[in-house]
Chain A
Amino acid sequence: MRACARSLERVGNATAWRRPGAALAVACLGAWLLAPAVVRAQGRALTAGAAAAAKSPSAREQAPYDLTGYWTSVITQNWQYRMVVPGPGEYADLPINAKAKQLADAFRASADTAAGKQCEAYGAAALMRLPEHLHIHWQDADVLRVDTDAGMQTRLLHFRPAAAHAAPEASWQGWSAAKWVLANAGGAAAGAAGAANAPPVRYGSLQVITDHLLPGLLRKNGVPYSAETKLTEWWDLRVEPEGDQWLTITSTVVDPQYLQAPLIYDSIFQKLPDDSKWAPAPCSLIS
């Protein structure tokens, strides 16, 4: 960078164009002009790069960080709608349409329980919002398995291309296509002196897109989502200097049938040292 700057300063003199350093300066200037445009496109470029790289190494080998282990949800937002079953008509923060509201108003937990539909509140569109623990582990080199103790559900995050499966049946957890979106180490770490022999530091996010869902509930007081629902998630691991590890999942629920606009929410999980808090419980619409 300093070389670039010195060369650019010299270009201020008109006669300097005849000197060899002028070529350096011109190249630097070009790089400077191009860099912002490339930076703006970086988000998408990261995505494309990860997709190309996913062909050879397995997802487990490619993982920029280790999500496996036990996690507990941390409920600090929307508490009254998540930690207890909210009362009738409590639809705040859900951009539902009139049809959804009509169905929710008519919802009776006892009737759905009698019909054996308790797990409709544990579908993928709402599962990560529940108070629960996660057990994350690799089912195989390209399938990340996420078990929940709440409702004893299992999500399978498939890193293999969608073509590898044929028309999956609709289910509470649907079909989840996953990919790592890798990023480089960042400004300070890139090219740091003395880092040549150190293993490369890897960062990135996990993107998960889920469809083929059975109709379910966004909230246990009856707010519905339809089979047309598509869920897009970003899973990020954030590690603090203090030692805490947080898994945040940013979810966007799009449902053309029951939502006026995308429902966007986050779920926070904290890493646990072991499975001592793991407490499987069946699905319930009343607690």
Chain B
Amino acid sequence: MRTPPFVAAALGCLSGILCASAVLAQVDLSGNWVLVSTQSGREHATGPYPGDFSGIPLNVQGRQAGWAYSGDERQELYRQCEPWSVSYIVTGPWGGRFTAERDHYGHVIAWHLSSQAYDRLPMTIWMDGRAQPPPQALHTYDGFTTGHWEGNTLVTHTTHLKDSFLERNGAPASSQETVNLFWTRHDDELSVLGVMRDPVYLEAPWPVTQTFRLTTAGSADIVPEYCEDAEIVQGVSDGYHSATVLPDQLPAAQHYMQQHYNIPLEASQGGAATMYPEFSKRLAKTYKTPTNYCTQYCCTGRDAEKFCKNSNN
């Protein structure tokens, strides 16, 4: 039987709407996203202070591993180009570019988050419902990530990570770490919540947030950077061996926050309790606000250096 053309056209329109709605059901993340959050600006830029694990739910093992870290390890030739782990998306200074990989029908089968810096690997988020690989499969710094949409939020789950760090001051992360990320788009802003879990080094989930903004500026903060494993920081490492830190010779880093900010060791050593308001009340009984005027990393914003020098320091 021959189908009248107008019927075919109507069916076509209906089909077209259905085709379109399948696509509309997903928020488009494509484009360049730059970090806009002003919180933790110094921590994102230079990394947290040495030995400052406050607000990180480290267990005893995690604390010991964190204190033993001196930074020298990163100067060894074979580790100079070692990237940070997936949680660096919410703790690091970089944005990235989202691109979609589609099948013949236009379905997104994966989102790719590029990295402009050598210290974070590109991340692939599989959206096609594929299963997690077996536990003994290869572990990498970008891990294995699957995702699905919940309204305007992309929910991703990452496993198969290598031993790495939660923060650049040595807060450790094991190969058993998992990362849940919630990417929620609000107009041109992307609010990201990362929740890290690690049965080896953490005694509770560690939630951290970050906010990015879509930019049309092209390569604003998407400049490729390549690592060359030749730079040796003199006096820190000879490039082949890291300094040995014995348990009874833990570095002065563990007292850094006490010495500079009056924040006691019970806070800077981290632990789940340090994340909650009850800890603030407990600390208030002994904590004394420093009386000396700030001397480093005091200001943020345009002309910050000049800005700070204009007054008391």
- A interface, CB within 8 angstroms of B: 1-5, 7, 20-28, 30-32, 34-36, 38-40, 42-44, 46-47, 64, 72-80, 83-98, 101-102, 105, 131-133, 150, 181-191, 202-205, 207, 221, 234, 236, 238, 240-242, 244, 246, 248, 250, 260-266, 268, 270, 277, 279, 281, 286-287
Contact = CB atoms under 8 A, between A and B. Distances in A.
Nearest to B178: A242
Contacts of B310: 98, 101
B276 interface: yes
B28 A42 contact: yes
A36 B31 CA distance: 13
Interface in B1-47: 2-5, 7-9, 11-13, 15-28, 36-43
Interface in B172-223: 180, 182, 184-189, 191, 193, 195, 197, 205-211
Given A42-B28, A77-B208, A92-B297, A187 B12 contact: no
B153 A203 contact: yes
Q: How large is the interface on B (under 10, 10 to 19, 20 to 34, 35 or more residues)?
A: 35 or more
A153 B19 CA distance: 49
B5 A246 contact: no
B243 interface: no
A181 B143 CA distance: 33
Given A43-B187, A246-B195, A250-B189, A32 B37 contact: no
Contacts of B253: none
A287 B207 contact: no
A270 B57 CA distance: 14
| Main secondary structure on B side of the interface with A | mixed
Interface string B93-120: 0000000000011111000000000000
Given A20-B5, A187-B26, A236-B153, A87 B291 contact: yes
Given A241-B157, A265-B39, 20 more contacts: A2-B105, A20-B3, A23-B11, A39-B26, A42-B27, A87-B262, A131-B277, A131-B279, A182-B151, A185-B151, A187-B22, A187-B148, A190-B25, A203-B150, A205-B186, A234-B186, A248-B191, A248-B209, A270-B207, A287-B280
